[in-house]
Structure 1
Amino acid sequence: DQEAIADILPVGCERAVQQERRGTGDAVRAGLEPLERFRGDVMVLYGDVPLVHAGFVAALHRRHLEAEAAATLTTSELADPEHYGRIVRDDDGGVVRIVEYRDATPQERAVHEINVGLYVFRADALRPALGRLTSDNDQGELYLTDVVHLLLADGHTVASFRSDDEEMCRGVNSRVELAAVNAAMRRRLVERLMLAGVTVEDPATTYVDYGVEVGRDTVLRAGTHLLGRTTVGAACEVGPHSFLRDAFVGDRARVVSSHLHECVVGSGCSVGPFAHIRRNTVLAEGARAGTFVEIKNSRIGERSRVPHLSYVGDAVVGQDTNIAAGNITANYDGYEKHATTIGDRVRTGSDTVIVAPVNLGDDCVTAAGSVITRDVPPGALAVTREEQKNVEGYAARRVAERRTAPPS
């Protein structure tokens, strides 16, 4: 996905597009087009080798400069080289060529030294060599690896730089290999957090995206997923089995077995278990969203509580308010969404339905089981339920009626 890649490129990067998939050599040719006047060194890294890190890239370039080479390629020796291109050397140990697996002889396939897919080229040597590539091979493509043989034939120096980090050199050619490198990257990111003072209860079941930030002394319980641009503050507890995507969580907050998506959870807040905090929701400092609570596109004020079994949508709730069990903000009339405003220090009774648009003033109270359809003044009690009526002897009469009723 070209647009997805463009979104993560640093400012100032220019992209080039290979219009037809004609092989790695043609891809590099397309990449050089915006660099027509460039005369320095060009680094080429295959996109399916995702675990290469900046320190190794810098070391490779140093090796290239020291060797005064036209090209320097990265190699590694794998116990099971599988389908990787093989490095063919002469009796003196110099690189002769790179042969792709599908074009290799049985003798060449027995070689365990592989081409990693990370190179440095001198631009003035690379350009003419790319122009001489042919598609005379098993796949009918223009191989970048053939540039090595062409440069050597022209008398240029080709150096190699070996890595013993087998994990870093692993490429991705199947879903199995993709899962393996994902696991390696996840382990690397989790270890980085632990070295920075984060406690990860079970690294094997903790998923952390690149770019996620977690503060010191936070505890990540088993099964936690921190994805996208998520930030978690210091001294928090997240999990077990919490899922956060593009969420901000302040210091000293707890998120237990809950889902958070594009929301802000303030310092000292408590979420869950089994809460769903949805897009554009803000829980202010000290607020609580408890068991089986869903909140969407709302602001819950400082120290306010939605403790259990409630839905709050398109609402603004003030400070020190308590939304009792089973409350619903009925925000949708079948055509449009409507807003609810609930003031400071409000107490709603259990099973209250608030039909938007409506305002509940500061310090007001709603009786349990009420359906609120009109504004409630500050300090008032709103009661909309019917008066209770007890029918004496009802149960006995009902039993008698069933006994005397004709068979159906």
Structure 2
Amino acid sequence: MPLSETLTMSPFLTLSIAGFAATAISFGPARMGFGLFLSQFRDSFGIGTTMAGLISGAGFAGFLLGLIAAYAATAWRGPRLPVLIGLFLATTGMAIVAVAPNAGTLSVGVVMAMSSAGFAWSPFNNAVHQQVEPDMRSRSLSVVSTGTSLGAALAGAIALALMLGGASWRIAWAAFAAAALASLIGNLVAMRGVAGQPGRGRSNWRVLCVMPALPLYLSALSFGVTTTVFISFATDRVVRAGGLEGLPLQASPAVMFIIYGIAGLAALGTAAIKDRIGLPRLVRGLLVVSALSLALIAVLPTSWPGVAAAAGLQGIFVMMMSAVLAFWSERLFPELPSFSFTATLLAVALGSVIGPALAGVLSDGLSPAAMFLAAAALSGATAIAMRPRLIRETPLDCEDQPGPAR
């Protein structure tokens, strides 16, 4: 049977693979590449920690704006359009970084690339809800979110190979841009079944602003702050502390991202783990994992076991929590899959804007260790606040909420 026919007959497989590729690019090198190559950017363009925080914060602000634009585009023309816009931004932005002659041009490319993440993930909640059977949606969304793992691992592997070979970081960014173009073309074909199909649902924000959804939004906000602190500054923390023993100084970030990405593949089993232990235990456990990861980077930045554990734990946290946020929002608001996930990601984006900017100032004002310990404390406090009785995953009765607008 031809591959195209097989994919047409299996929406689960088609959308899972397409989403995996889109998130691999947009949440892999496009979103994380700045942190991965920050030490090289410092050498090439003289970027300080505060400036790095502002660039990263601007990129995550683009992510926030992209989320809003993606929801509007999904409501207008269906989920394929925003995904293609996101992958176009990733392709163009990373190509600009590859040829950037100065810090200003570099910033433009980084912001464009990071903005792509706002377009290329949330629409898959809509697409999956339209075409995948209910009992397979959590698994499909877990596969989509785990694309970040492969993207991070491959980005790290490419960076490591180039560094060990003495090649310029610009070659890596050119390769990232080429991969983004390939993903764009693949999604153009794979998502044709949901092109021009926006799906149904309300667009009244008051429907989503209900108390049972507050733990979801608070978890998302904390997630946005802490993960962007790690993504933006963890590799730089290790390099500035002296790097990992036995490696060239600039190779440490690449090794960290490889470990981060490989460990994150555990998220493919997120739905199964949730079914076994329940959502409350999974959410709280993941927040504890985040706190441990950040604390390890704070106190053991040159220790192989410490850094490897920190990168691996962070990879598990990011990928599994991403999957949790996707299917948690879809379960609470099954009639509003894209809208509810967009609201959740807006909370992530708000934290993503605040996190790097404040972290850069805190690092310069106190120390990098204090910055990471503060982020670890936030994850720990969020875990304590997530009381099991407050975490709900059964559908909310939107008919009882104010302002329904079909």
TM class by smaller structure: under 0.3
TM-score (norm 2): 0.20
Q: Quick check: which has more Rg, 1 or 2?
A: 1
TM-score (norm 1): 0.20
- Tell me which of the two structures has the higher relative contact order, counting C-alpha pairs closer than 8 angstroms and 6 or more residues apart: 2
